[in-house]
Chains A and B, each alone.
Chain A
Amino acid sequence: MWQFFHKLGSPRWFYEISGRWLPWLALLTAALLLTGAVWGLAYAPPDFKQGNSFRIIYFHVPASAVSMACYMVMAMAGAVSLIWRMKLAEVVMKCCAPIGASITFIALVSGAIWGKPTWGTWWVWDARITSVLVLFFLYLGVLALYEAFDNKEAAGKACAVLSLVGCVNIPIIYWSVEWWYSLHQPATIKFTEQSSMHPDMLQPLLVMIAGFYCFFAVALLLYTRSEILFRERNTKWVRALVEKSVG
């Protein structure tokens, strides 16, 4: 375990091992997303109240779940980079921000598109929706803060602190629908009791959620690998790699 952790300190080792994982992970992602999308959009039964418009859940819920998980990954990577000064953790933290911002954007837009036919409005300033908008701005804030520094070491530290502070928003998003009156309904998938969704509809949703998590992992690996190559561009191993690929 500790050996693995120490090896993670070497960007080169990570680049090589992630290159071996990537094709399999990409294949798994494509399989899960394709199965989940066809199953959910074409074969799952319509909802008794909302009809077919409920099918937006197959994109909205996975995107929302990953938007929060991505933030936790970013904050944890930030904490590791602050405490252990691990280069790779800082790279991962930096690479989480654009991915998280895009996925949060998908969650917000799909929620708005779902809100119009069911609630009767695109947008309402309730606790859940507003706190997810704050999450979106936190991602943009980390992106902007990183670019605002010329000294990239200082940029990494500042972003790590910002992502740690923003962590407070995650439990607020999760429990906002229970702590306050909101238009958004409470969670359908429950960890402690039975989910309030028919199994025929729930199974494709779980496949889609798994698919979105794998997609996030693939995107993060790709971003991290290209950032490693950029940062280590003057080292011998990257030069050798470039020479080999150029031939």
Chain B
Amino acid sequence: MHPVRKQRLMVVLFILFGAAVAVALITFALRDNINLFYSPLEIAEGKAPVGTQIRAGGMVLEGSIKRDPNSLRVDFIVTDYAAQVPVSYTGILPDLFAEGQGVVAAGKLNSSGLFEATEVLAKHDENYMPPEVQSAVDAAAETLSP
């Protein structure tokens, strides 16, 4: 390669390397703020601030959804299967909200450890299946389980 071009190639690599290092340092410094939500374990360990607007994310624990018959209030437990956070929410839930589904709730953690949500979003996973395949999978799971 021509020496002048080689030098220009070095400049290009240096630009790439410099930009990569700068951005890596920035994202490393901001790593906690880039996370969209706190996991139940982090909340249980006291890493999440109390009384300020935060988000909590995890799975809705099976059998934990309690609906108030007289209002839109819903109580449920968010878990990452390591810790649990009780959540209360009054409002309309997304269609995909269900037990065993992922959710991200925005709101405040009160001093007694209850998460008072002002917004609940459904987090869906990367699996896509036709409905009849899912029912076949469920049926197979039922015959396998005692």
The interface stretch among A23-31, A162-170, A225-233 is: A162-170
Q: Do A182 and B36 touch (CB < 8 A)?
A: yes
Closest to A57 in B: B128
Chain A residues with CB under 8 A of B37 = 181
Cβ of B41 to closest chain A Cβ, rounded Å: 12
Q: Do A167 and B121 touch (CB < 8 A)?
A: no
Q: Is the contact region of chain A dominated by helix, strand, or loop, or is it mixed? A: loop
Cβ of B57 to closest chain A Cβ, rounded Å: 6
A120-B121, A181-B39 are contacts. A198–B19 as well, Cβ < 8 Å? no
- Cβ of B104 within 8 Å of any chain A Cβ, yes or no, is yes
Chain B residues with CB under 8 A of A79 = 12
The interface stretch among A93-101, A103-111, A184-192, A210-218 is: A184-192
* A-B Cβ contacts below 8 A, count: 121
The interface stretch among A3-11, A48-56, A66-74, A140-148 is: A48-56
- Cβ of A34 within 8 Å of any chain B Cβ, yes or no, is no
A118-B96, A181-B57 are contacts. A168–B23 as well, Cβ < 8 Å? yes
Cα distance, A159 to B8, chains bound together (Å): 16
- Cβ of B114 within 8 Å of any chain A Cβ, yes or no, is no
Cα distance, A169 to B23, chains bound together (Å): 9
Range of interface residues on chain B? 35 or more
A186-B126, A188-B128, A200-B130 are contacts. A180–B36 as well, Cβ < 8 Å? yes
Chain A residues with CB under 8 A of B31 = 180
Closest to A78 in B: B12
Interface digits, A120-161 against B, CB 8 Å rule (1 contact, 0 not)?
Answer: 110011110000000000000000000000000000000001
Q: Do A167 and B130 touch (CB < 8 A)?
A: no
Q: Do B16 and A164 touch (CB < 8 A)?
A: yes
A164-B15, A172-B27, A180-B31 are contacts. A48–B131 as well, Cβ < 8 Å? yes
- Cβ of A83 within 8 Å of any chain B Cβ, yes or no, is yes
Cβ of B67 to closest chain A Cβ, rounded Å: 17
Chain A residues with CB under 8 A of B119 = 120-121
| Pairs across A and B, CB under 8 Å, 17 listed | A45-B130, A47-B128, A47-B130, A124-B121, A125-B36, A127-B35, A161-B15, A164-B15, A165-B19, A168-B23, A181-B35, A183-B36, A185-B126, A186-B126, A188-B126, A196-B127, A197-B129
Q: Which residues of B contact A (CB under 8 A)?
A: 5, 8-9, 11-12, 15-16, 19-20, 23, 27, 31, 34-37, 39, 57, 93-97, 104, 119-134
Across the A-B interface, the 10 shortest Cβ-Cβ residue pairs: A120-B94, A45-B130, A48-B134, A126-B36, A181-B35, A197-B128, A165-B19, A48-B131, A188-B126, A185-B126
Q: Which residues of A contact B (CB under 8 A)?
A: 45-50, 54, 57, 79, 82-84, 117-121, 124-127, 161, 164-165, 167-169, 172, 179-183, 185-188, 196-198, 200-201
Excluding A164-B12, A185-B125, 20 further A-B contacts by CB distance (< 8 Å) are: A45-B131, A46-B130, A49-B124, A79-B12, A82-B8, A119-B96, A119-B121, A120-B93, A120-B119, A120-B121, A124-B121, A125-B36, A127-B36, A161-B15, A168-B16, A168-B20, A179-B34, A180-B35, A196-B125, A196-B127
